[in-house]
Structure 1
């Protein structure tokens, strides 16, 4: 099983030039807004969950 997974990852890397990628939960506009809010003093988890609408996986 391990060998098969390694072979599959090698194929993906060869085809895409990278590993298995993950799409971003934030659009460029939301990312910009989040950065501005964090700079002004808001906590990153609070910004993500309450103001941007992204789940953090951790309770606030």
Structure 2
């Protein structure tokens, strides 16, 4: 996840890696002061970068 900025890393961790307390898009939106849709976009872009890194 080194290729991701800090916010994107946090979103991926909160949405996918924290088994005990997965965050919703709205919770992350409130944390970062953006819309839930923007968090979804950031998550999608981060996942795309991770996939590309794995396939490289």
- Please give the range of the TM-score, normalised by the shorter of the 2 chains: 0.3 to 0.5
Higher relative contact order (CA 8 A, sep 6+): 2
Q: Which has the larger radius of gyration?
A: 1
Higher helix share: 2
